[in-house]
Amino acid sequence: MAEPTITLNITRYRPGQDRAPTTQSYAVPYKEDWVVLDALNHIKDQMDGTLSYRWSCRMGVCGSCGMMVNGTPKLTCAAFLRDYYPGEIRVEPLVNFPIIRDLVIDMSDFLDKLKSVKPWIIRKEEKPVSQGEYLQSPAQLEAFHQFTQCINCMLCYAACPVYGLEPKFLGPAAIALGYRYNMDSRDQGQEQRAVIGNHDGIWDCTFVGECSVVCPKDVDPAAAIQRSKVDTTKTWFQSILMPWGQR
Amino acid sequence: MSGTRPDPSKLYYREVPATWWLKKKSYFFFMLRELSSVFIAIFLLVYLYQIYQLTQGPEAYVAFSRRLSSPGWILFNLIALLFALYHSITWFQSSAIVLPLRVGERELPRNLFVALNVIALVVISLIILVLFLRLKG
């Protein structure tokens, strides 16, 4: 009996040669324990070495292999062929990003935005190492812990229609990571992350909520953004009502 | 880092189609939620105008109320009611995410938050309905 196969319809784009992306179909062996990334690797190794895509860890940690699988942003290392078989699978580069080649997108915009929220602990004055570490209770850790799980895979940007329509939008992951440091009891840098509270920050978000649905690490960027809206509004009202106060 | 950036002239930019909100169920329901505000706003404007008619004397009020009982307006009110209910449910779902209920250090399930709010909505609506019927009768 012939080995069962599954068809992958993959976006191809060769910069400088193709005017627009095209679709190429590949029939790859169907194996129950294969994920879409295994199928892509099979194509690259056995069928067509010109196919380009990003991947690294193949275990949902590195965040490199995010692509559109049948129109939904997914880590291809976690998308099993058996969930689509015997149907065909459409693999496209993450939407809302420019295509460099085939399934590889240009992530410069995301990296710029990530840097703009200063995702690191900022102290007004650093204390010397000899004075020990900055202590934190389990409850204080719990306040932001889930947001530390982000792997920068950009699936949330591909799921966000606001980012697609308004490319200036800071976007789910960058805001969630900024919020993570704002919520960190060891951090004192909230004022340096004003970009979060700007118009192109949280206020562009219309709360579609898909960012949290597609997140492979159960981070909840939609919650981070809405809670930031509440915090920012409170701070603003306090500054109006009590201009002589600290904040 | 700018040296590692790809040549912008070689990138391919995809457009977001105007029908993006029809591509996914969740996007469609998001648009319905946004659209619900239009119906609720129209309802409230009509309601305000109805109250304004009170200042124009009882005849004006009765005449306007009679116009509102035409089948077209009843249909509109029915649609507006459905949108208002949908808006309320999605509001509770959103609130559950924004203001999580906590007992001690644990976050209660979001569905519980939604359920409690729906129960409160039903109970308060029933109380208002009973009061209304009493006052009328």
DSSP letter for each residue of A20-62: S-EEEEEEEE--TT-BHHHHHHHIIIII-TT-----S-SSSSS
**Single-letter amino acid code for the residue at A128:** P
Q: Are B94 and A226 in contact (CB under 8 A)?
A: yes
Residue A240 phi/psi, 5-degree rounding, is: -80, -45
Give the mean pLDDT of A183-198. Answer: 93
Q: Do B94 and A207 touch (CB under 8 A)?
A: yes
- Residue A242: the pLDDT is 82
CATH number of A5-105: 3.10.20.30
The residue among B23, B15, B26, B6 whose CA lies nearest residue A96 is: B15
* Least confident interval from A19-33, A73-87, A115-129, B97-111: B97-111
Chain A residues touching B21 at Cβ < 8 A: 161
CA distance B45 to chain A (A): 24
**Quick one: tokens of A183?**
């919520």
Q: pLDDT-derived band of residue A108, with 50, 70 and 90 as boundaries?
A: very high
Assess whether pLDDT exceeds 60 at residue B122: yes
Name the more confident of A214 and A231: A214
Whether omega before B6 lies within 30 degrees of 0, making that bond cis, reads: no
For residue A106, the chain B residue with the least C-alpha distance is B6
Q: Do B98 and A226 touch (CB under 8 A)?
A: yes
Chain B residues touching A161 at Cβ < 8 A: 16, 20-21, 27
How far apart are the C-alpha atoms of B60 and B110, rounded to whole Å? 48
Q: pLDDT-derived band of residue A240, with 50, 70 and 90 as boundaries?
A: confident
Assess whether pLDDT exceeds 90 at residue B4: no
Establish if A95 touches chain B: CB-CB under 8 angstroms.
yes
Q: Do A226 and B97 touch (CB under 8 A)?
A: yes
CA distance B83 to chain A (A): 17
Give the mean pLDDT of A170-195. Answer: 95
Phi-psi region of A36 (alpha: psi -120 to 50; beta: other; left: phi over 0): alpha
Please state the domain extents for chain A.
Answer: 5-105, 108-241
Which residues does A200 contact at the CB level (< 8 Å), separation at least 6? A166, A168, A169, A170
- Residue A246: the pLDDT is 56
Per-residue pLDDT tens digits for B6-55: 888 899 999 999 999 999 999 999 999 999 999 999 999 999 999 999 99
CATH number of B19-136: 1.20.1300.10
For residue A213, the chain B residue with the least C-alpha distance is B26
Question: Mean pLDDT of all residues in chain A?
Answer: 94
For residue A139, the chain B residue with the least C-alpha distance is B105
Q: Are strands A22-29 and A99-101 parallel, antiparallel or unpaired?
A: unpaired
* Least confident interval from A24-38, A79-93, B102-116: B102-116
Q: Up-side HSE of residue A137: CA atoms within 13 Å toward CB?
A: 3
CATH number of A108-241: 1.10.1060.10
Residue A151 phi/psi, 5-degree rounding, is: -110, 15
Chain B residues touching A207 at Cβ < 8 A: 94
The partner residue sitting opposite B5, judged by closest CB among A108, A165, A222, is A108
Q: Which residues of B77-87 are buried (b: 16+ CB within 10 A; e: fewer)?
A: beebeebbebb
Give percent of chain A with pLDDT exceeding 70. Answer: 98
Instruction: Give chain B's length.
Output: 137
Question: Mean pLDDT of all residues in chain B?
Answer: 91
Other beta carbons within 10 Å of A149? 14
Burial class of residue B62 in the structure, from the number of CB atoms within 10 Å of its CB (0-12 exposed, 13-18 middle, 19+ buried): exposed
How far apart are the C-alpha atoms of B47 and B132, rounded to whole Å? 17
The residue among A144, A206, A143, A148 whose CA lies nearest residue A173 is: A148
The partner residue sitting opposite B11, judged by closest CB among A99, A138, A229, is A99
Give the mean pLDDT of A126-151. Answer: 92
Chain B residues touching A15 at Cβ < 8 A: 7, 10-12
Tell the residue number behind the tokens 């219309």, with chain if given.
A206
Establish if A132 touches chain B: CB-CB under 8 angstroms.
no
Chain A residues touching B27 at Cβ < 8 A: 161, 208, 210
Q: Do B34 and A206 touch (CB under 8 A)?
A: yes
CA distance B64 to chain A (A): 37
How far apart are the C-alpha atoms of A72 and B25, rounded to whole Å? 12
Q: pLDDT-derived band of residue A247, with 50, 70 and 90 as boundaries?
A: very low
